[in-house]
Structure formats: structure tokens, C-alpha cells
Amino acid sequence: MLRSSAFILIAALAASVSARADEAALEGKGREIALLHCARCHVIDAKTRLGGIGSTPSFPLLMSLADGEHRFITFFDRRPHPVFVRMEGVEPLTPLPANAAEAELSVDDLDALIAYALSLK
């Protein structure tokens, strides 16, 4: 009986470590995407605190707000993002060309960005 309990505990710990590794990989992908597309306007973490545009909120500030997670989930629909962010499966706001370099994101990219943002809480 003790052996099976120990085995179950070890299996549960291994699954937890594996899940955390997957989560860390997703957060890392989200940070890479944020550096590539978001850091041109936003400070995304303490390492990029001297970047961004002064009038845009930082990722840590956004995540400190009560609706911070919701803001990240719907960021592509919030001004000025609809003008240049292209989301897989979301119709562009206008057929006119973007007024800034386009950022093309997939649903997986959005999941990674949200995982990264949540890691900043």
C-alpha cells in the first residue's frame, strides 16, 4: 500500500513539474511575442522599463487593474490596436492599409501573450 501511494505521489509531482515547464515555455513565447510586437509602444517588464511610449500603459500596470486580464484578452479590439493588429479569424476594422507596421497574431500567440501577462501579476 505504501509503495502505491509513493508511486502516485511521484507521478503527481512529475505531472506538476511537466505542467509548470509547459506553462513556463508558453510564458517565454508570450514574452518573445511581446518584445517583437508590443514593446514598440509598451513597457512589457522591468527589463524594458526604458522603452515604450510614455503615454501607453505598461504590462505590469495593466495587470494590476481589476480588468487587466480582460484587457489583454480583448486588446486587439481596443484602440489603436484594430488599425494594425491582425488577428487570425478576426475581420480587420477597415480594408485600408495599416497606419503602422502590422502585427499578425494567431490564437496561440494570444494565449502565449495572456500567459506572459498573467505571470506579471
Give the pLDDT band (50/70/90) at residue 99.
confident
CA distance 22 to 45: 21
pLDDT at position 79 is 85
The number of domains in the chain is: 1
Give the residue among 67, 63, 93, 66 at the shortest CA–CA distance from 80. 93
Query: pLDDT tens-digit profile of 30-78?
Result: 999 999 999 999 999 989 888 888 889 999 999 999 999 899 888 888 8
Interstrand relation of 103-105 and 85-87 (parallel, antiparallel or unpaired) = parallel
Query: pLDDT tens-digit profile of 16-32?
Result: 555 567 889 999 999 99
Lookup result for grid cell 508558453: 26
SS (H, E, C) 85-120: EEECCCCCCCCCCCCCCCEEECHHHHHHHHHHHHHC
Domain interval for residue 85: 2-119
Count of CB atoms situated within 10 Å of the CB of 38:
25
Please indicate, yes or no, whether the overall pTM of this predicted structure exceeds 0.85.
no
Res 112 pLDDT > 90: yes
First-to-final CA distance of the chain: 41
Res 119 pLDDT > 60: yes
pLDDT at position 73 is 85
76: cell is: 486587439
